[in-house]
Amino acid sequence: MPWSSCLKINETLLTVKKGKTNFIEVQANNPTNHDIVIKRRTVLGRLQLVRSVTAIPVKLREETIENGSQVDQTCKVSECSVAFTDETQSVVGIPDHIKNIDLKGLTPEQRSVALRMLAQEADAFSQNDDDIGCIPDLKVTIKLSDDRDTSTKELHGSAKTALS
């Protein structure tokens, strides 16, 4: 997460009109006493296509009255599911800039796993020629072929000498 772990981003079900939608409202809760700044272009989540939402009947049960006061009602949900069609499953959650990746040589199971991985790791891929992607947890050890010092002071001295 590129923001404070105190910030809570809630899942939301909303209807997006056809056509180009530039903005959607995202509810974020900051339970702390200080401001949390979220940088521009920070990905807060992913839009997922849901074909239908089926309401599940919920039965409230009342507990007996004890000592003259009523006990709070409780609610129990036994099942909740979302179904995707094959048509939408391949498109859901994958941004346009990586939708055209060739997965023809994969089995249906491998294709499903690859699509899920692409949706989860979509930020790692560049969106255009000016973008380099983003992998915040990536750590790379680069072994150099020579022992030349690359510290800032050494490079500053070399640059200063070259410019004079």
For 74-110, how does the pLDDT look when each residue is reduced to its tens digit (9 = 90+)?
555 555 555 544 443 444 567 777 777 888 888 888 8
Q: Which amino acid is at 2?
A: P
Angle, vertex CA 125, rays to CA 13 and CA 86, nearest 5: 50
Collect all residues with Cβ–Cβ distance below 8 Å to 145 and sequence separation of at least 6: none
The whole-angstrom separation of Cα 112 and Cα 110 is 5
Asked if residue 139 belongs to a domain, the reply is: no
Q: What tens digit of pLDDT does each residue of 107-158 get?
A: 888 888 888 888 877 777 777 777 777 777 778 887 878 777 666 666 777 7
Asked if residue 11 belongs to a domain, the reply is: no
Asked if residue 2 belongs to a domain, the reply is: no
The whole-angstrom separation of Cα 95 and Cα 123 is 9
Collect all residues with Cβ–Cβ distance below 8 Å to 60 and sequence separation of at least 6: 73, 74, 75
Asked if residue 81 belongs to a domain, the reply is: no
- Would you state the structure tokens that stand for residue 111, as one six-digit string? 């294709």
Its domain, for residue 106, covers 96-126
Asked if residue 161 belongs to a domain, the reply is: no
Looking only at the bridges linking them, the beta strands covering 28-29 and 8-9 are: antiparallel
Question: Count of domains in the chain?
Answer: 1
pLDDT higher at 63 or 52: 52
Whether residue 16 is predicted with pLDDT greater than 60 in this model: the reply is yes
